[in-house]
Structure 1
Amino acid sequence: MENFQQTLGIGPLLAIVIGAIVLLLVLIIQFRVHAFVALILVSLLTAVVAGIPPQAILTTITSSFGSTLGGVALLVGLGAMLGRLLEVSGGAQALADDLVNRFGEKRAPLALGIASLIFGFPIFFDAGLVVMLPVVFTVARRLGGGLLLYGIPVATAFSVMHVFVPPHPGPVAAAELLGADVGLLVLVGLAVAIPTWIVAGWLFGHWIGQRVVLPVPDILSGGAPAEPPANPPSSGTVVGLLLLPLVLIFINTGLDFARAQGWVNSDAGWFQLARTIGATPVALLIAVLVASYVLGPRRGRDASSVERTLDSALGPVCSIILVTGAGGMFGGVLRASGIGDALADGMAYIGLPIFVAGFLIATALRVAQGSATVALITAAGLVQPAVQAAGYQGADLAAIVVALAAGSVMLSHVNDSGFWLVGRFFNMDIKTTFKTWTVMQTLVGLMGFALSGLIFWLA
């Protein structure tokens, strides 16, 4: 693949992408082919038609699949274990009851969303969502009204924090490329993320939740919801277990910031050890181990019972992990085909203002290859010379980064692993995922672009 040079123009490459997406949708919706099989088949066909050398096709597919699994499998598996422990122990029910008692039934979606905005500051989207799902499912079961009424505000909260606010990798990398001040970017990102969540998460979640009423799935319950014990843990204990991995990850983030500022020696042994402990998979592993004791032997449950509980969590999420990996594989094939680069090169010379052009380039990259982080970083690299030549600084520069981030989250569809992750966890078919997740992500992008544009012109 190192020597592969795409010779097709933008037109043929765009036709290949559209044809691949249409074929995938027809296979899954019309012919009821399992999504995992359909994604593998379409990825292979796309690689062949796009001209990827035959000897590199298998490597491209397996490496893209493996890299996605490397980021998803550990998080989903460990998160599902933690969720199952909270479910079986009655902890999720205790926290749900406390939330409803404190905020009322009508404000439960608001309470869950605000909690997710706070949790989403240090933690990545997929890990935060998996950790919060048992509480979301329990609240939805207790109050009724369908899953989306509670799930959309939570998913949107983690999404807006991940895409707009440092220390998440996309905005941090874009800030470094464009020379934006990270501290100012945090403020601008929050100023955009919070109103965006109100519209795309809370208000849209309320609207779509009343029109698309989904039952609460048993995906984290290992079957039918378990009867909680007579002495469930307190909601404070549950909050502590949920906060434990977040605190470890947040410490990791602080260490990264200290390294960037030159305050610590990044080669020191203690620094590397602390970074490892604060890595998201390790932080979740620690949380699972602590929860296994706190919700197990400490509450009178034997080790065998805890082991069976953890084992029952993995089976239901295997399908989610594999389909998500296959979605990442499809996106990886599209990246390898050069469609993203071709679109970006073509749009870089359309003569629009930098602010608008950057948003459109990031959007095109997002639609073409699926990854929001890749779209954001690539778009930042493409507009970097023009931004530096224009001499933008301060809030103007931070607003440009946020505009690029807004484009990178637009129009999530079948080449985005997040599309499959949310769709499978919420037990939605493709049509419903488009009507809910894709619309929500597009609202996030449009709101983010509008608000960052307001900041850009007022600064």
Structure 2
Amino acid sequence: MTGLSVETLAAAGTGPITSAGNTQLGIAVLAGIAVIVLLITRLKLHAFLALTVGSLALGVFAGAPLGKTITSFTAGLGSTVAGVGVLIALGAILGRLLADSGGADEIVDTILARAKGRAMPWAMVLIASVIGLPLFFEVGIVLLIPVVLLVAKRGDYSLMRIGIPALAGLSVMHGLIPPHPGPLVAIDALHADLGVTLALGVLVAIPTVIIAGPLFSRYAARWVDIPAPEHLIAQRPSADPEHRPRIGATVFTVLLPVALMLVKALVDIVVNDPANPVQRVTDVAGSPLIALLAAVLVGMFTLGRAAGFTRERLSTTVEKSLAPIAGILLIVGAGGGFKQTLIDVGVGQMILDLSQNWAVPTLLLAWLIAVAIRLATGSATVATISAAGLVAPLAAGMSTTGTALLVLAIGAGSLFFSHVNDAGFWLVKEYFGMTVGQTLKTWSVMETIISVVGLGFVLLLSLVL
């Protein structure tokens, strides 16, 4: 990983860029986060600019020279983009291939053709979880909500009974499972093993999505009983069924990077010999860059060519997939800059010193920090990046499993109680045609359940592993 730890800085002889005491640093952290919150919520400034200004404000309040603060911010931005930027881009390409080729529709139609009655909410969870692996949350929403509305209308199902499971599947993937931006940045910041984090993330995600999806949807359907908005039902994107990629090839392509990374993690645990030829091969094939690149290249044939795409059409699809993620890359990069500024002014060491006298377990502390930032900013990605930067020193000396669980605790906290300062809140509200109160009783409660249940399973795993 490319992030710089406190230990790395100490070894390099640079040390903190300020001599401020813990009290001043604590005030600086609160002031820096407050600046970010106010700029995002009150002035509606883009998160990239808010994080940039907040990082500079943090340095000023901590008494650090402005030049060194700028250097810390740009170094963190560069290392973060270098670490996860290419992975985000590859994930976006795979997601666009899946959507444009009709592969996503093929998955949806195949599962829905086999699901009836009480099985439908479980089918929606499966659809959202599979499709949500390579897609960003907002893209998944745009892709799946028209399907949800169509199924609810034609099958005469409660909209919440079908919609909540789909939203839960997308949200859990977004918060806990790489290659989504939040988990990737936390893995980079904490120097966690991606394969182990992915494997444990799947263990946490499965029961969490079941509880927050099909089970909770029973109550959500009683609390909010509304029909599907008619004006959105016909907007489902769909390729010609005759030219769609087949279900087997589609699922294989989507799950290929996950399988490669899991195999790497398994071989690392079982073989545990870097000189072993098998482990050397799996270490390369299961690295996130190679795994995602392989999936994209395979997808060009199994998805693109199967749908009749010409070389020009494939090139256009790739080009169109990259434009929408420019903002995401900038936010993630600026978040990395904020994280590095936190570390360089000595905040990470401050947290490490203070936590020695706290009775709060590390995993719970990480979750609480992510929850606080999520409630303040409304952004799961900002919450994950900031929390990872604050607790990074606590990961020093932790086992591979412990560091992976720390990433998942932060991811779970970043999803807590989405409300009016979250763009996802308004996206769900408008697509489902709900009032603010109805959205709070369904979507916001569902997000809170994911966060709390996810933390519960993370803590449980920490006791048994």
Q: 1:412 to 1:158 in 2, by over 3 A?
A: closer
Please name the residue that 2:309 is paired with. 301
The 10-residue stretch of structure 1 (49-58 or 131-140) with the greater mean CA deviation from structure 2: 131-140
Please name the residue that 1:102 is paired with. 114
TM-score by length of 2: 0.67
Deviation, structure 1 residue 84: 1.6
1:249 to 240, 261, 264: 261
Q: Is the 8 A contact 1:94 1:233 kept in 2?
A: yes
Q: 1:258 to 1:402 in 2, by over 3 A?
A: closer
Q: Is the 8 A contact 1:411 1:442 kept in 2?
A: yes
- The answer to whether 1:12 aligns with 2:19 is no
Please name the residue that 1:143 is paired with. 148
Aligned length: 399
Q: Is the 8 A contact 2:59 2:69 kept in 1?
A: yes
- The answer to whether 1:334 aligns with 2:346 is no
Deviation, structure 1 residue 129: 4.8
Mapped to 2, the partners of 1:132 and 1:92 lie a distance apart of: 14
The one-letter code of the counterpart of 2:39 is: L
How many percent identity over aligned positions? 26
Deviation, structure 1 residue 238: 0.9
Deviation, structure 1 residue 403: 7.9
Deviation, structure 1 residue 197: 4.1
Deviation, structure 1 residue 74: 1.7
Aligned counterparts, 1:28-177, within 5 A:
28-104=40-116, 107=119, 110-111=122-123, 113=125, 128-130=133-135, 137-144=142-149, 145=159, 149-157=165-173, 159=175
Q: 1:25 to 1:207 in 2, by over 3 A?
A: farther
Please name the residue that 1:387 is paired with. none
Deviation, structure 1 residue 346: 1.5
Q: Is the 8 A contact 2:368 2:413 kept in 1?
A: no
Q: 1:247 to 1:101 in 2, by over 3 A?
A: same
SS at 2:394 equivalent: helix
Please name the residue that 1:320 is paired with. 328
1:278 to 280, 283, 286: 286
Mapped to 1, the partners of 2:368 and 2:352 lie a distance apart of: 7
SS at 2:49 equivalent: helix
Mapped to 1, the partners of 2:450 and 2:73 lie a distance apart of: 26
Q: Is the 8 A contact 1:93 1:139 kept in 2?
A: no
2:240 to 205, 224, 229: 229
Q: 1:112 to 1:365 in 2, by over 3 A?
A: same
- The answer to whether 1:379 aligns with 2:415 is no
The answer for unaligned runs of 5 or more in structure 1 is: 121-126, 163-167, 176-181, 217-223, 385-397, 415-421
- The answer to whether 1:443 aligns with 2:452 is yes
Q: 1:114 to 1:426 in 2, by over 3 A?
A: farther
Deviations 1:130-152 (A, max 9, x none): 38986665332212258765233
The 10-residue stretch of structure 1 (140-149 or 129-138) with the greater mean CA deviation from structure 2: 129-138
Aligned counterparts, 1:363-442, within 5 A:
363=367, 370-371=384-385, 378-379=393-394, 381=396, 408-409=410-411, 411-412=413-414, 435=444, 439=448, 442=451
The one-letter code of the counterpart of 1:139 is: L
The 10-residue stretch of structure 1 (127-136 or 333-342) with the greater mean CA deviation from structure 2: 127-136
Deviation, structure 1 residue 7: 3.5
Q: Is the 8 A contact 1:358 1:383 kept in 2?
A: no
Q: Is the 8 A contact 2:348 2:393 kept in 1?
A: no
SS at 2:133 equivalent: helix
The 10-residue stretch of structure 1 (92-101 or 28-37) with the greater mean CA deviation from structure 2: 28-37
Deviation, structure 1 residue 379: 3.1
Mapped to 2, the partners of 1:287 and 1:426 lie a distance apart of: 33
The 10-residue stretch of structure 1 (314-323 or 437-446) with the greater mean CA deviation from structure 2: 437-446
Q: Is the 8 A contact 1:35 1:323 kept in 2?
A: yes
- The answer to whether 1:345 aligns with 2:361 is no
Report the aligned-residue RMSD: 4.9
The one-letter code of the counterpart of 2:323 is: G
Mapped to 1, the partners of 2:389 and 2:120 lie a distance apart of: 35
The one-letter code of the counterpart of 1:245 is: P
Q: Is the 8 A contact 2:77 2:334 kept in 1?
A: yes
Mapped to 1, the partners of 2:187 and 2:127 lie a distance apart of: 22
The one-letter code of the counterpart of 2:452 is: L
Please name the residue that 1:290 is paired with. 298
Mapped to 1, the partners of 2:425 and 2:282 lie a distance apart of: 32
The one-letter code of the counterpart of 1:156 is: V
Q: Is the 8 A contact 2:97 2:300 kept in 1?
A: yes
Q: 1:256 to 1:423 in 2, by over 3 A?
A: farther
Mapped to 2, the partners of 1:304 and 1:286 lie a distance apart of: 20
Deviation, structure 1 residue 20: 1.9
Q: 1:364 to 1:256 in 2, by over 3 A?
A: same
The one-letter code of the counterpart of 2:356 is: A
Q: 1:291 to 1:364 in 2, by over 3 A?
A: closer
Deviation, structure 1 residue 230: 4.1
Please name the residue that 1:418 is paired with. none
Q: Is the 8 A contact 1:361 1:379 kept in 2?
A: no
Q: 1:50 to 1:109 in 2, by over 3 A?
A: farther
The one-letter code of the counterpart of 1:142 is: V
The 10-residue stretch of structure 1 (249-258 or 95-104) with the greater mean CA deviation from structure 2: 249-258
Mapped to 1, the partners of 2:446 and 2:18 lie a distance apart of: 32
Q: 1:292 to 1:207 in 2, by over 3 A?
A: farther
Please name the residue that 1:265 is paired with. 275
Q: Is the 8 A contact 2:133 2:173 kept in 1?
A: no
Deviation, structure 1 residue 239: 0.6
SS at 1:3 equivalent: coil
Deviation, structure 1 residue 26: 1.7
The one-letter code of the counterpart of 2:312 is: S
Q: 1:324 to 1:158 in 2, by over 3 A?
A: closer
Mapped to 2, the partners of 1:134 and 1:361 lie a distance apart of: 31
